[in-house]
Amino acid sequence: MKWKMLLSASSLSQHFRSLLRSCSVTSSLHPGKQLHAAATVSGLLSFPNYFLLNALLHLYASCSSLPYAHYLFDQIPQSHKDTVDYTTFIKCLSRQGYPQKALNLFAEMRQRGLSIDGVSMVCVLNACARLGDVKVGEQCHAGVVKIGLLKCVRVCNALMDMYVKCGGLVGEVKKVFDEMEDPSVVSWTVVLEGVVKWEGVENGRVLFDRMPERNEVAWTVMLVGYVGNGLTKEAFMLLQQMVFSCGFGLNYVTLSSVLSACAQSGDVSMGRWVHGYGLKMMGWDMDVMVGTSLVDMYAKCGRIDAALAVFNNTSRRNVVTWNAILGGLAMHGKGKAVVDMFPCMVEEVKPDAMTFMALLSACSHSGLVEKGLQFFKELESVYGIRPEIEHYGCMVDLLGRAGQLEEAEAVVRKMPIPPNEFVLGSLIGSCYTHGKLQLGERIMTELVHMDPLNTEYHILLSNMYVLSGKVDEANSFRQILKKRGIKKVPGMSSIYVDGKLHQFSAGDKSHSQTAEIYIMLNDMIRRLRFSGYVPNTSSQVLFGCSGRDDCTEEALEEVEQVLFSHSEKLALSFGLISTVSGSPLYIFKNLRICQDCHSAMKIASDIYNREIVVRDRYRFHSFKQGSCSCSDYW
């Protein structure tokens, strides 16, 4: 009788495990939880059943439910945890954003003398890839060789992926690949990603065409490569081939990957196509990641109204979606909208650390000092979020921009984490804006220790010396910069016209329409001057003129010429001659827009009757009828 009961219990357990497996495969958390409850009630879990526990652990890991997975992992007695249990939880930690914890757990597993198999090695290599830790990755490589796992295709794939993600050691990737007896389509795809990322999209295409077989991932990698490099036409051609000739459907991972690339490169035409595709296939009930990527894409492409429309129509929203829209509004200087929307967010989802970055930067960009201080206070006391260095950075920025330099410095001195170069960099920026030379000098000393090769801060301080009449100090600074050979990151501006990205550097003459662009530029400067534009040479005197130390009239003229051929103005001139009159222009700049270009854009938006949207490294400026959305508050 007892034997019969045991037998039925064992078959019941098998039944449960097979049901749990199907929940894991489909990431069905709710039915899985019900099974968990049923297993508990039936008494199956009241005596040790390690396979069932592992199936439950796997369920929660597959459903990205870290707290439950952690609970299950702890439920398994230490003496009975085997390689499979560890592997399941290591993968879960790595995927949920804790790759370091995953590696720590692997170390624990090894200390306990448990064997390493191909599967656990794949998971550990994956954690190294996510962490970007090539050192541990190389140790694993040695382990792979030692255990004889090089014949295992998936291990090799994970190994190559680790080298791709950890700084692009494409040589290592190819070495592993060449030794493989029978590389799979995944192996080829990993190499493809490495080549696209580190050897350029053209080289990637050569490899793509040579691949014996291509899956949707390979197509996605290639697409993202094109979009990320501004090659919209090529991307559309590839997409057409993928969907219409080869019959691939686009899944949600492909859609969000492509959208993320669109957001980065500012390619709204491809972004819109993906939006249309998503609507046709899924309607508004689309995947939460796709919806979020859409919101982010529209916001980062300067279409904040479209971002809001998508946000309001999406039926699935999580904290990331909210963060995307609040961050987008913040970048567009719509601080009040952010403050007004926050209470609605709290009703719907729990805000996280990232939310407060968006909130504080919104206050910072809109000069809402009181509101920002209040948010910062509530961050810990109401929402239980421990402030991170980025939050302190936002506070320093908020107070500094508003001219409250003493308060900003007090934040730096009192913060429990040592300030990094971004925090101090923001402070020195505010010192420049508000002419606080002495504080600037002090901060500079600290910054030089932290980041001796940074040019931006050196230039800022040197400019401050000039503005306060200390030309000698400025000159000595310039000498230091010259001696050390510190080079400025070149400013680049780009603009999409007819699905093609056109890039300009300062004084660029490489564009095929250079002659027309410069004719337009000269005409524009003339009209700008006529409307009251005065070149702002004050901050350029120092580093603009190619190493001249004098400030004669000719030097000044030279400085003006440098100003006029700033990359933003070239992109604007090109945009004006190559688009329909009255249509808005969207320009992307890799650094902060300069003061002079900012004034020029304001007037240009009026005299040419165009909306000009400029995305710089930090935020958006929308110029319309002579004024800017930032209200000149940077």
Binding letters toward DNA, positions 335-374, x by CB under 7 A: -------------------xx-------------------
Does 242 contact DNA by CB under 7 A?
A: no
Q: In this complex, which beta carbon is closest to DNA, that of residue 228 or of residue 535?
A: 228
Q: In this complex, which beta carbon is closest to DNA, that of residue 107 or of residue 410?
A: 107
Q: Residues 9 to 28: which contact DNA by CB under 7 A?
A: 10, 13-14, 21, 24
Q: In this complex, which beta carbon is closest to DNA, that of residue 79 or of residue 581?
A: 79
Q: What is the largest CA-CA distance in the chain?
A: 108
Residues making up the chain, counted from first to last: 634
Q: Which residue has the tokens 């000092």?
A: 369
Does 96 contact DNA by CB under 7 A?
A: no
Residue 624 neighbours by CB distance under 10 Å = 16
How many angstroms separate the CA atoms of 168 and 156, rounded? 16
Q: In this complex, which beta carbon is closest to DNA, that of residue 129 or of residue 524?
A: 129
How many angstroms separate the CA atoms of 128 and 499, rounded? 38
Residue span binding DNA (CB under 7 A) among the ranges 215-223, 277-285, 362-370, 524-532: 215-223
Does 51 contact DNA by CB under 7 A?
A: yes
Q: In what order do the strands lie in the sheet with 500-505?
A: 500-505, 492-497, 585-589, 612-615, 620-624, 627-628
How many angstroms separate the CA atoms of 227 and 205, rounded? 13
One of 161, 172, 397, 568 touching DNA (CB under 7 A): 161
Does 262 contact DNA by CB under 7 A?
A: no
Q: In this complex, which beta carbon is closest to DNA, that of residue 116 or of residue 559?
A: 116
The torsion region of residue 514 among left (phi > 0), alpha (psi -120 to 50) and beta comes to alpha
Minimum separation from the CB atom of position 54 to DNA (A): 3
One of 99, 118, 137, 535 touching DNA (CB under 7 A): 118
Minimum separation from the CB atom of position 261 to DNA (A): 8
**Tokens representing residue 341 in the block:** 């929307």
Q: In this complex, which beta carbon is closest to DNA, that of residue 200 or of residue 626?
A: 200
Q: In this complex, which beta carbon is closest to DNA, that of residue 21 or of residue 33?
A: 21
Q: In this complex, which beta carbon is closest to DNA, that of residue 293 or of residue 605?
A: 293
Q: How far is CA 581 from CA 63, 104, 578, 599, 609, in A?
A: 52, 60, 9, 21, 8
How many angstroms separate the CA atoms of 198 and 75, rounded? 44
Does 222 contact DNA by CB under 7 A?
A: no
Residue 604 neighbours by CB distance under 10 Å = 25
How many angstroms separate the CA atoms of 429 and 408, rounded? 12
One of 39, 56, 158, 520 touching DNA (CB under 7 A): 158
Provide the pairing of β-strand 500-505 with 627-628: unpaired
How many angstroms separate the CA atoms of 490 and 546, rounded? 14
- Contact status, residue 305 vs residue 341, Cβ threshold 8 Å: no
Does 136 contact DNA by CB under 7 A?
A: no
Residue span binding DNA (CB under 7 A) among the ranges 205-213, 291-299, 545-553, 588-596: 291-299
One of 288, 389, 551, 556 touching DNA (CB under 7 A): 288
How many angstroms separate the CA atoms of 182 and 199, rounded? 24
How many angstroms separate the CA atoms of 438 and 459, rounded? 16
Minimum separation from the CB atom of position 577 to DNA (A): 33
- Contact status, residue 235 vs residue 223, Cβ threshold 8 Å: yes
One of 33, 101, 110, 154 touching DNA (CB under 7 A): 154
Does 195 contact DNA by CB under 7 A?
A: no
Binding letters toward DNA, positions 398-437, x by CB under 7 A: ----------------------------------------
How far apart are the two ends of the chain, measured CA to CA in Å?
81
Does 253 contact DNA by CB under 7 A?
A: yes
- Contact status, residue 219 vs residue 248, Cβ threshold 8 Å: yes
One of 72, 105, 172, 189 touching DNA (CB under 7 A): 189
- Contact status, residue 402 vs residue 369, Cβ threshold 8 Å: yes
Residues that bind DNA (CB under 7 A): 10, 13-14, 21, 24, 50-51, 54-55, 58, 61-62, 82-85, 87-88, 91, 117-120, 122-123, 126, 129, 153-155, 157-158, 161, 165, 184-187, 189-190, 193, 215-218, 220-221, 224, 251, 253-254, 256-257, 260, 263, 288-289, 292-293, 296, 318-321, 323-324, 327, 354-355
